[in-house]
A and B are shown apart, each in its own frame.
Chain A
Amino acid sequence: MTAATPLPIQSPKPKVKPDMAVEVRIPTILRPHTGGERAVQADGATLSAVIDDLEKNHEGIKERLLENGQLRRFVNVYVNDEDVRFTGGLDTEISDGDTVVILPAVAGGAA
């Protein structure tokens, strides 16, 4: 029994702070905030943090997305193709390599 090879001690993964880099797709109407870029990098562990990080590099974009701390009614945000309204809104968790897409609603009407 003593011959049993000792289980190698799992060397803990190097504790590099994960930076959760994600690509954020920017719609035409918000590109003035990104110098015309269609997609930019941002990081954060939640959508809320990603938006804060976006604001650091692209001033004014946060206000276009949020109103009173909530996602604006006519801005759609998708994380990996899921509308965040169904995945926890601003608290939606973000993982490294996720794709965030921002699309303004196409809406209107006589009312």
Chain B
Amino acid sequence: MLTILREHVDAIIAHARRDHPDEACGVITGPVGSDRPERLVPMLNAAMSPTFYEFDSGDLLKLYREMDDNDEEPVVIYHSHTATEAYPSRTDVNLASEPGAHYVLVSTRDGAHESGEVEFRSYRIVDGEVTEEEVRIVDRYTDDSGDAAADPVPETEGEA
């Protein structure tokens, strides 16, 4: 299951609508091992294509360096499909290279870039195997273990 902040869902949908008909892409990073998406990083689609996305290679290096410095990992990797459903294509599956990430797909097809609902779905893609998972949208993170008082949500601070 993916637990994600409503503000991030809204921002991803807005990004996908803005870039339509090209595909939009980005990540949400979080502390290593936390499975908690905290820092949204919209990325440029270097392919600038309605059927393909790719992070710019320089941006990619910068992103991974930042994550290393912050002890973060990519918790969510998102992109949009602009004419097909929000389901991983063969290309998506072949190129998926973060087995620990939630792959979020949104679709702006059928006019959804202007109005109406944008499909928002999440998958695990491991060794070529796609598994859809439930998406739980929350206003803020609480500690599921019930130890909320002892574990306040740390703010993502851009310590550099």
Contact = CB atoms under 8 A, between A and B. Distances in A.
B60 interface: yes
B95 A74 contact: yes
A46 interface: no
B97 A109 contact: no
A110 B95 contact: no
Contacts, number: 85
B81 A110 contact: yes
B89 A109 contact: yes
B98 A83 contact: no
Interface string A71-111: 00010101001010100000000000000010111111111
A78 B61 CA distance: 8
Given A81-B61, A105-B55, 18 more contacts: A74-B95, A78-B57, A78-B61, A83-B58, A85-B57, A105-B60, A106-B25, A106-B74, A106-B97, A106-B98, A107-B47, A107-B53, A108-B52, A108-B96, A109-B23, A109-B92, A111-B51, A111-B89
30 contacts: A28-B100, A29-B99, A78-B57, A78-B61, A81-B61, A83-B58, A101-B61, A105-B54, A105-B57, A105-B95, A106-B25, A106-B74, A106-B97, A106-B98, A107-B95, A108-B79, A108-B91, A108-B92, A108-B95, A109-B23, A109-B51, A109-B52, A109-B79, A109-B89, A109-B91, A109-B92, A110-B50, A110-B89, A111-B89, A111-B91
